[in-house]
Amino acid sequence: MITQFTEVLIDNLASDSVWTFFSSCLSTKMIVTCSGLTKQVSHLLLSSLASSPLLAEKVKDKQQAKLLSLLVKFCLSDTTLEARNMGLSSPPSPSLLLDQFKNIWGQEAFSGGRVVGRGEFYLLYGSKDTSEEDVERWVQTCWLLEVTEKLVGQQKGKEEDWLLLARPMFVLLCKVADREVEKGSYKLSLLLSVLLQLLSLVPDSKLWQLMTGQLDPELVVHCIRTSPSRDTRQTALQVLARCAVSNPDFILQNSITIFTFMGSHLLKVDSKHSFQVACQALEVIVPAIKTACQAPGKAHQLQADQLLG
């Protein structure tokens, strides 16, 4: 029935009876055979809907939010690839993704003042997330981050809309930084990867207009200095380079620390790829320092910092 009436299901997904059927199929562990392959009913349903070109056309707005919310809950019991593919087949907007992150962590989790590693958010959403509830939140968050990473990689439209997610990514990065940065966890790597894609998608002119506090380069430097993973350090360095466009003053004030670390940890011990990553970062960081130095009242700050260092 699922394979034969896929388009009918999509057309009527807004009706209560079809939605109940859809939800029931996701929750069941029933096994069926289709085209000679044995699959769970939930996997068959998701793959059938995801493969239909009608899904993105028919599922919009409130229905899309309802569908994404159900998939986020479904990932707690089954992190199947079919669920992620369905999420990608009807691409949610940045604001819809933000709403889902808020549903997971609370409506006030990403509001308030500046994001800092040792500030209000660190105390409120600190690193002691060992309860079963927090474990479930991170399962849902990682699934949603994986969807976001794929979506941003495919994005060619309104780049500035994706800046809605920059601040939440830094808040989540703050949450895992102290607890897991030294372990090089998947959560940390995934967050940095999403941040890099978000900031790379946005043109420099848009980054330059960001308000102070939307990005947190200090937290990124912390990840660079403490992570044991070469790949994580490289990604964090690339994120820092994009932050430099928005906040060249921070790079100016911390230039000695940044360049010392790059020299001792990236350029000497790693591969050719590491060298290329460092060069790409320098191509952004050095002009940012130059811009900061040329600003009124900043002409001698780099020299003063060197003397004080």
Please indicate, yes or no, if residue 261 is contained in any of the structural domains: yes
> What confidence category does residue 191 fall into, taking pLDDT thresholds of 50, 70 and 90?
very high
- For the chain, what is the mean pLDDT? 78
Is 37 among the domain residues?
no
Q: Cα(279)–Cα(277) distance, rounded to whole angstroms? A: 5
Token code pair at residue 261? 């670390």
Distance CA(163)–CA(152), nearest Å, equals 11
Residue 107 lies in a domain: yes
Instruction: State the total domains in the chain.
Output: 1
Look at residue 190 and tell me if it is in a domain: yes
Has residue 87 got a pLDDT over 80? yes
At 2-40, the pLDDT tens digits run 777 788 888 888 889 989 988 998 888 888 888 778 888
For residue 31, give the 3-state DSSP assignment: strand
| Alpha carbon distances (Å) from 264 to 222, 251, 261, 267, 305 | 16, 18, 5, 7, 20
Average pLDDT over residues 135-149: 93
34 φ, ψ (degrees, to nearest 5): -135, 125
Which residues are 231's β-sheet partners? Answer: none
Answer whether residue 307 shows pLDDT above 50: no
Per DSSP, the residues of 77-139 read: T---HHHHHHHHHSPPPHHHHHHHHHHHH-TTTT-SS---TTSHHHHHT-S---SHHHHHHHH
SS3 40: strand
Read off the pLDDT band of 194 (50, 70, 90). Answer: very high
CA distance 93 to 126: 29
What pLDDT, on the 0 to 100 scale, is given for residue 163? 87
Burial state string for 195-229 with b = 16 or more CB within 10 A and e = fewer than 16 = bbbbbebbeeebbeebeeebbbbbbbbbbbeebeb
Residue pointed to by tokens 């920059």: 166
Res. 122: pLDDT tops 60: no
pLDDT(67) > 80: yes
Give the range of the structural domain holding residue 198, as residue numbers without chain letter: 92-308
The structure's pTM equals: 0.80
Q: What was the pLDDT predicted at 134?
A: 86
Q: Has residue 3 been placed in a domain? A: no
Query: What is residue 198's predicted lDDT score, i.e. its pLDDT?
Result: 92
CA distance 246 to 199: 10
221 lies in some domain? yes
Higher pLDDT, 278 or 159: 278
Q: Which whole number is the average pLDDT over 117-143?
A: 66
pLDDT at 149: 93
Q: Identify whether 122 is part of a domain.
A: yes
DSSP state of 1: -
Residue 55 inside a domain? The answer is no
DSSP category for residue 109: T
Spatial separation of the C-alpha atoms in residues 127 and 139, rounded to whole Å: 16
Question: Residue 197: what pLDDT?
Answer: 92
Q: Which residue has the tokens 């549903």?
A: 103
Tens digit of each residue's pLDDT (9 = 90 or more) over 198-225? 998 888 888 888 876 788 988 998 888 8
Could you tell me which residue, 64 or 273, shows the higher pLDDT? Answer: 64
The span from the CA of 153 to the CA of 147, in Å, is 10
